[in-house]
Protein backbone atom coordinates (compact mmCIF):
# COMPACT_ATOMS: atom_id res chain seq x y z
CA UNK A 1 0.00 0.00 0.00
CA UNK A 2 3.04 2.31 0.25
CA UNK A 3 3.06 3.14 -3.45
CA UNK A 4 -0.67 3.82 -3.44
CA UNK A 5 -0.35 6.24 -0.50
CA UNK A 6 2.60 7.96 -2.16
CA UNK A 7 0.67 8.35 -5.43
CA UNK A 8 -2.44 9.61 -3.64
CA UNK A 9 -0.48 12.28 -1.76
CA UNK A 10 1.21 13.47 -4.96
CA UNK A 11 -2.20 13.88 -6.60
CA UNK A 12 -3.50 15.63 -3.47
CA UNK A 13 -0.73 18.22 -3.74
CA UNK A 14 -1.47 18.67 -7.44
CA UNK A 15 -5.18 19.16 -6.71
CA UNK A 16 -4.53 21.56 -3.83
CA UNK A 17 -2.13 23.65 -5.91
CA UNK A 18 -4.53 23.83 -8.85
CA UNK A 19 -7.61 24.60 -6.75
CA UNK A 20 -5.90 27.19 -4.52
CA UNK A 21 -3.95 28.62 -7.44
CA UNK A 22 -6.89 30.40 -9.02
CA UNK A 23 -6.23 33.71 -10.71
CA UNK A 24 -8.88 35.35 -8.51
CA UNK A 25 -6.92 34.40 -5.38
CA UNK A 26 -3.78 35.95 -6.86
CA UNK A 27 -5.61 39.19 -7.66
CA UNK A 28 -7.26 39.40 -4.24
CA UNK A 29 -4.59 38.02 -1.88
CA UNK A 30 -1.38 38.46 -3.92
CA UNK A 31 -0.44 34.88 -3.03
CA UNK A 32 1.01 32.72 -5.77
CA UNK A 33 0.34 29.01 -5.29
CA UNK A 34 2.89 26.86 -7.13
CA UNK A 35 4.24 23.36 -6.55
CA UNK A 36 7.49 21.67 -7.45
CA UNK A 37 7.34 17.88 -7.69
CA UNK A 38 10.82 16.38 -7.84
CA UNK A 39 11.59 12.80 -8.75
CA UNK A 40 13.96 10.97 -6.40
CA UNK A 41 16.38 13.47 -4.84
CA UNK A 42 19.87 12.57 -3.63
CA UNK A 43 19.43 13.24 0.09
CA UNK A 44 20.58 11.44 3.23
CA UNK A 45 17.05 10.10 3.72
CA UNK A 46 16.93 8.61 0.22
CA UNK A 47 20.47 7.20 0.50
CA UNK A 48 19.52 5.54 3.79
CA UNK A 49 16.38 4.03 2.26
CA UNK A 50 18.32 2.75 -0.73
CA UNK A 51 21.02 1.17 1.43
CA UNK A 52 18.43 -0.73 3.50
CA UNK A 53 16.29 -1.72 0.51
CA UNK A 54 15.28 -5.36 0.16
CA UNK A 55 15.64 -5.06 -3.61
CA UNK A 56 17.91 -7.69 -5.14
CA UNK A 57 21.26 -6.70 -6.67
CA UNK A 58 20.10 -7.44 -10.23
CA UNK A 59 17.05 -5.19 -9.78
CA UNK A 60 19.16 -2.43 -8.21
CA UNK A 61 21.61 -2.57 -11.13
CA UNK A 62 18.79 -2.51 -13.66
CA UNK A 63 17.16 0.50 -12.01
CA UNK A 64 20.32 2.51 -11.40
CA UNK A 65 21.51 2.04 -14.99
CA UNK A 66 18.30 3.57 -16.35
CA UNK A 67 18.28 7.40 -16.66
CA UNK A 68 14.73 7.53 -15.28
CA UNK A 69 15.97 6.27 -11.92
CA UNK A 70 18.97 8.56 -11.67
CA UNK A 71 18.88 10.54 -8.47
CA UNK A 72 18.61 14.27 -9.00
CA UNK A 73 20.63 16.69 -6.93
CA UNK A 74 19.05 19.17 -4.49
CA UNK A 75 20.51 22.02 -6.57
CA UNK A 76 18.38 20.88 -9.54
CA UNK A 77 15.26 21.12 -7.38
CA UNK A 78 16.34 24.53 -6.06
CA UNK A 79 16.64 25.87 -9.62
CA UNK A 80 13.12 24.65 -10.40
CA UNK A 81 11.77 26.30 -7.24
CA UNK A 82 13.44 29.56 -8.26
CA UNK A 83 11.94 29.24 -11.75
CA UNK A 84 8.48 28.57 -10.29
CA UNK A 85 8.67 31.64 -8.06
CA UNK A 86 10.08 33.98 -10.70
CA UNK A 87 8.29 32.86 -13.86
CA UNK A 88 5.54 30.49 -12.79
CA UNK A 89 1.91 31.45 -12.75
CA UNK A 90 -0.36 30.73 -9.82
CA UNK A 91 -1.58 27.13 -10.05
CA UNK A 92 1.50 25.89 -11.92
CA UNK A 93 3.04 22.54 -11.05
CA UNK A 94 6.63 21.94 -12.14
CA UNK A 95 8.07 18.43 -12.31
CA UNK A 96 11.82 17.93 -11.92
CA UNK A 97 13.46 14.76 -13.18
CA UNK A 98 16.92 13.68 -14.29
CA UNK A 99 17.86 16.23 -16.93
CA UNK A 100 14.26 17.37 -17.45
CA UNK A 101 12.07 20.08 -15.96
CA UNK A 102 8.54 20.67 -17.21
CA UNK A 103 5.16 22.03 -16.28
CA UNK A 104 2.79 19.23 -15.34
CA UNK A 105 0.81 17.92 -17.17
CA UNK A 106 2.04 19.79 -20.25
CA UNK A 107 5.41 18.18 -20.95
CA UNK A 108 5.50 20.29 -24.13
CA UNK A 109 5.91 23.40 -21.94
CA UNK A 110 9.52 22.79 -20.99
CA UNK A 111 11.38 24.89 -18.45
CA UNK A 112 14.98 25.61 -19.24
CA UNK A 113 16.78 26.42 -16.01
Instruction: Tell me the backbone φ, ψ of residue 17, rounded to 5 degrees.
Output: -60, -45
pTM for the predicted model, two decimal places: 0.76
What pLDDT digit, counting tens, does each position of 52-108 carry? 878 788 877 777 777 777 889 999 999 999 988 998 889 999 989 888 888 876 766
Number of C-beta neighbours around residue 10 at 10 A: 14
CA-nearest of 79, 15, 71 to 46 is 71
Average pLDDT (37-50) is: 87
Per-residue pLDDT at 47: 84
Amino acid sequence: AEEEIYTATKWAILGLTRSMGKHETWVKEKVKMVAVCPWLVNTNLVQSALSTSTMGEAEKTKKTSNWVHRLIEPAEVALAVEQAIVSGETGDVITVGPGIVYYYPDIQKMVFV
